[in-house]
Structure 1
Amino acid sequence: MSAKAATTGGKADVLNPRTTTYEFLGPLGTFVISLSSSAVVYALYFGCNSNSGGCPPSLVGIIGRVVSSILDSTWWKGLWDSEAALYYLGWYAFCVLAWLLLPGDEIEGTVLRTGGRKTYRMNGFYTFGLALSIACARIWICGPESFTFIYDKWVGFVTAALLSAILLATYCYLSSHRSGALLALKGNTGNIMYDWFIGRELNPSIGSLDLKWFNEVRPGLNLWAMINISMLCKQAVLRGGFQNVTNSMWLVVAFQVWYVADCMLFEPAVLTTMDITTDGFGFMLSLGDLVWVPFTYSIQARYLVFRPIELQTPAAVAIFILNAAAYWIFRDSNNEKNDFRNGKNPKNLKYLPTKRGTKLLISGWWGLSQHPNYLGDWLMSLTWCLPTGFGTPITYFYPIFFAILLLHRQTRDDEACHEKYGDDWIEYKKRVPYRIIPYIY
């Protein structure tokens, strides 16, 4: 591919240079990833549910199901549920209306290549609180059985979310061709498949609603919490009431709902992440935001519905302590970073000045590793799985996937920072040599 600038009206557009390199093995790789990552979400359900005969089932059982599914030409009809689709559409509309109507601080994002900034209404915590209040009120008035519909219609919800992700990515790709669109530096190759997957436009919007930011923090994250509550209600129904819900279920739901609440409370921090500042919004992010977050992160709670586990008290306490320690690492390190970026330094942390006029932290959590928040985040994900025991690898899918994702992000971040800071980044890595785990990696 030749290195040439994209043109608009016959003039070189210096703001939107043509992307000359590929990630993820290019168009073919992104095509394969698009299909396989969508299929994985269904595979995690069909490979581990109340009727699977094992989690995952035996190889013979898997082959038998595949053969019977091929012979049964109507198998695909089970993936669609009109009622679940309407529920999902209503949920998405609720999130949009909450963003539009609920109060919130107006926060400016990072400086764009145009020199301007986008403004974001930060009312995610209110959205989360309203959704949680409505769910709890329904359960209180109508009983736990009134909130089991997400568990009962799981596959239909997955399909509705997947179709939404596809439509959203397609809309954003098509709208990115309008005059004046600011494109992502890595999503303007000219290849339809690749740009659709990576995301061609940096901040696609409808009016003042930034679609990338909104989908990153609202529909999927909040739905994850609602799904877990539905799983808890389903176990309560099956076991004769909330008083019989297992301590493993309470731990998983408490850990993950708290995690979502924390994300909503510190919502402005997402504006400095690579997803928002660098990546375009295409199928990669829309699938992750709308499908993977709510439907793969909640595997543990769904598993505990049909495989209830009552933990011994010492085990439950140990898991709780590990989660609290992991959260402390995650939140305290993020607070150090966010304070420093906002011109505050309450801990008097040391830093390395750069030729760009910016500063790189080299003490506190950020003196121990380049990404201490990744370590805390991953350890939390592990504690979500430990309450499910060790009877299946399925419930440990997320921390395995998350480890790969974090390693990939660390590599991308290292490349971006080396390009951005040059020799200063080399000096920084001498000061802080460990990438994620202090003294190990």
Structure 2
Amino acid sequence: MSSPKPAAELNPKTTEYEFLGPPGAFFVTTTVPIIIYALYFGCSETNACKPSVAAIPDQVLGAITNPDWWKSLWDTEASLMYLAWYAFCVVSWAVLPGDRFQGTTLRNGEKKTYNINAFSTFLLALGAACGTIYRYGPESFTFLYEKWLGFVTASVLMAITQGLFCYAISFQQGKLLALGGNSGNFIYDFFIGRELNPSIGSLDLKYFNELRPGLILWALVDISMACEQATRRGGLNKVTDSMWLVLAFQIWYVADALYNETAIFTTMDIITDGFGFMLAVGDLAWVPFTYSLQARYLAFAPKELGAVWTTVIILVNLTGYWIFRDSNGEKNDFRNGKNPKNLQFFVTARGTKLLTSGWWGLSRHPNYLGDLLMALAWSLPTGIDTPITYFYVCYFAVLLIHRQRRDDENCHKKYGKDWEVYQKLVPSRIIPFIY
């Protein structure tokens, strides 16, 4: 049996930065919460999601210099409800039945074991929400719309708290650090995540936050927006086709991610990234409160699309979902030693096999193309009255291009000249023959 590696060898110092180093990390840390709030104030019922660009500087200055505006961001009741929601997710993780799954082998030779019951948690939460609406009417579930600011603040504070907590415990002896989060700079390591898998007992915080509190809350937020529209329009039978599309697309996306829970263990977030403020604020605040922007807009600006546009938008979404799910299926099968489609592959000097046919022969990230088409379908029901509801598509394109570049850079370091050969075999990065 081999002796354990020394700490310095197991956790080498990070020498290369992402996000332009500490200044970039500080910029993203401060701007992400600001953007979440800005999307609320910039796309509200007051301005019909058409803010006056010229008036923005004066409005921002007037707000941040007004103590009452700062007080309005806090809602004690919303914060207590958010804590109760998080506790519900933790208890569900602990007690609901599910499979046990072993993750990838870590650098220290260990494997973590996970409870696979996120879909059960989702069904329980969805059942409770639907039961409440059925018993007490749609007006009983509009609180997420009414207390939006308070919930955002609570989720951001939770992300900050977890980021600081995970940074602090990463200095305990025996911790396995992320290769990219051990720079020695507090701002950068707090943001990017210093420890690879920070845990409280058997609760892996990175894995838990990735799929449960924020992702399921996103679906509940959408439902609350539909209830707000129904309350204003006189009942659930008055909910518009555009709102039903957004609910169907986004809740299906959430359900699919939770049902295929084990697929997360092949992602960069789980395998290589540490858990710091970047992932915490993304999982807990950004996902539920920016991804639901279209539903929130339709709550106060209802639109009827008609049969033709509804069909077109459904086809766009189904195309994206097919590409996303089928390409991920090819990748997961191949990584698990299966190749039902007899796909061609390229063998590197390390012995690693890289797919060069099927979806992965068309581009190096075909699943990202599917993601982008679905993102577009989620925004199309809002029409063209405002560009703000298309924020998610633009942001997601930037995010996926950034991830693609990170992945290419990591693969180039890992495979060397073999990666250059592979790039010639599969030249497209995301969109075949275009990018």
TM-score by length of 1: 0.96
8 Å CA contact 2:49, 2:297 repeated in 1 = no
Match of 1:45 among 40, 45, 49: 40
Match of 1:182 among 176, 189, 211: 176
Match of 1:406 among 395, 400, 422: 400
Q: CA deviation at 1:59?
A: 2.6
Q: CA RMSD in A?
A: 1.1
Q: CA deviation at 1:60?
A: 4.0
Match of 2:80 among 86, 96, 120: 86
Is residue 107 of structure 2 the alignment partner of residue 139 of structure 1?
no
Q: CA deviation at 1:46?
A: 0.5
After superposition, the C-alpha distances for 1:113-145 in whole angstroms (9 at most, x for unaligned) are 111111111111111111111110110011101
8 Å CA contact 2:178, 2:193 repeated in 1 = yes
In 1, the alpha carbon distance for the partners of 2:134 and 2:252 equals 20
In 2, the alpha carbon distance for the partners of 1:59 and 1:266 equals 43
In 2, the alpha carbon distance for the partners of 1:265 and 1:215 equals 16
8 Å CA contact 2:144, 2:224 repeated in 1 = yes
Is residue 272 of structure 2 the alignment partner of residue 278 of structure 1?
yes
After superposition, the C-alpha distances for 1:204-224 in whole angstroms (9 at most, x for unaligned) are 011111100110111100000
Match of 1:434 among 394, 415, 428: 428
In 2, the alpha carbon distance for the partners of 1:28 and 1:433 equals 33
In 1, the alpha carbon distance for the partners of 2:348 and 2:20 equals 34
Match of 2:31 among 36, 58, 61: 36
Secondary structure of 2:9's partner?
Answer: strand
In 1, the alpha carbon distance for the partners of 2:82 and 2:38 equals 21
Equivalent position of 1:157 in the other structure: 151
8 Å CA contact 2:241, 2:310 repeated in 1 = yes
Greater mean deviation of Cα atoms: 253-262 or 341-350: 341-350
Match of 1:252 among 246, 250, 256: 246
Where do residues 21-420 of structure 1 align in structure 2 (5 Å cutoff)?
21-51=16-46, 53-420=47-414
In 1, the alpha carbon distance for the partners of 2:130 and 2:173 equals 46
Q: CA deviation at 1:394?
A: 1.0
Equivalent position of 2:12 in the other structure: 17
Greater mean deviation of Cα atoms: 361-370 or 28-37: 28-37
Greater mean deviation of Cα atoms: 188-197 or 69-78: 69-78
After superposition, the C-alpha distances for 1:66-108 in whole angstroms (9 at most, x for unaligned) are 2432453221000000110011001100111111011111111
Which stretches in structure 2 are left out of the alignment for 5+ residues? 1-5
- Say if 1:408 and 1:70 are closer, same or farther in 2 by CA, change over 3 A: closer
- Say if 1:36 and 1:56 are closer, same or farther in 2 by CA, change over 3 A: farther
Equivalent position of 2:3 in the other structure: none
Q: CA deviation at 1:175?
A: 0.2
Q: CA deviation at 1:36?
A: 1.0
In 2, the alpha carbon distance for the partners of 1:251 and 1:348 equals 37
In 2, the alpha carbon distance for the partners of 1:56 and 1:105 equals 48
Q: CA deviation at 1:166?
A: 0.1
Which residue identity does 1:30 align to in structure 2?
A
After superposition, the C-alpha distances for 1:5-26 in whole angstroms (9 at most, x for unaligned) are xxxxxx7620001111222122
After superposition, the C-alpha distances for 1:200-252 in whole angstroms (9 at most, x for unaligned) are 00000111111001101111000000000000111000000111111000000
Q: CA deviation at 1:64?
A: 3.9
In 1, the alpha carbon distance for the partners of 2:385 and 2:187 equals 40
Secondary structure of 1:120's partner?
Answer: strand
Secondary structure of 1:13's partner?
Answer: helix
In 1, the alpha carbon distance for the partners of 2:8 and 2:98 equals 36
- Say if 1:352 and 1:306 are closer, same or farther in 2 by CA, change over 3 A: same
Secondary structure of 1:121's partner?
Answer: strand
Which residue identity does 2:18 align to in structure 1?
E
In 1, the alpha carbon distance for the partners of 2:242 and 2:118 equals 28
Secondary structure of 1:183's partner?
Answer: coil
In 2, the alpha carbon distance for the partners of 1:426 and 1:166 equals 40
Greater mean deviation of Cα atoms: 430-439 or 162-171: 430-439
Secondary structure of 1:17's partner?
Answer: coil
In 2, the alpha carbon distance for the partners of 1:141 and 1:337 equals 44
After superposition, the C-alpha distances for 1:315-364 in whole angstroms (9 at most, x for unaligned) are 11100011011100000110111111111111111111222222111111
* Identity rate, percent: 63
- Say if 1:226 and 1:12 are closer, same or farther in 2 by CA, change over 3 A: closer
Greater mean deviation of Cα atoms: 12-21 or 391-400: 12-21
Figure out how many residues of one structure are paired with residues of the other and give that number.
430
In 1, the alpha carbon distance for the partners of 2:259 and 2:371 equals 16
